[in-house]
């Protein structure tokens, strides 16, 4: 039986800090580690609410930023995978 990861959701223990302009950081208070986010990463983080798909995040980026490359959805997925690996994001796994 295959499983499909539909949505991702932010770990509420991770602190999201907008610092200068639209740049931001994620702070893990348990480790003290900091992870830098550029403006598109910051937007993606805000949209990881457990109800917004990667496709919808990519569409929002295309609306809000200029020169978004075609491979944006794949890059967003790569970015989210990294956040999942760090424990900053959880996956909502559904079984069809």
Dist. CA 11–CA 72, nearest whole Å:
23
The reply on whether position 27 binds another protein by CB under 8 A is yes
The reply on whether position 16 binds another protein by CB under 8 A is yes
Choose the binding region for another protein from 11-19, 45-53, 56-64, 85-93 (rule: CB under 8 A): 11-19
Between 51 and 80, how does the x/- string for binding to another protein read (CB under 8 A)?
Answer: ------------------------------
Q: Which is nearer to another protein, 13 or 49 (CB)?
A: 13
Residues near another protein (CB under 8 A) are 13, 15-20, 27, 29-30, 32
């Amino acid at each position: 039986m295959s499983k499909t990861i539909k949505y991702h959701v932010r770990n509420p223990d991770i602190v999201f800090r907008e610092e200068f302009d639209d740049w931001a950081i994620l702070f893990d208070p348990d480790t003290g580690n900091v992870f830098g986010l550029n403006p598109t990463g910051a937007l993606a983080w805000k949209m990881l609410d457990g109800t917004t798909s990667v496709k919808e995040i990519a569409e929002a980026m295309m609306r809000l930023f200029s020169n978004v490359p075609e491979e944006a959805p794949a890059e967003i997925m790569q970015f989210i995978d990294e956040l999942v690996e760090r424990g900053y994001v959880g996956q909502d796994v559904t079984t069809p």
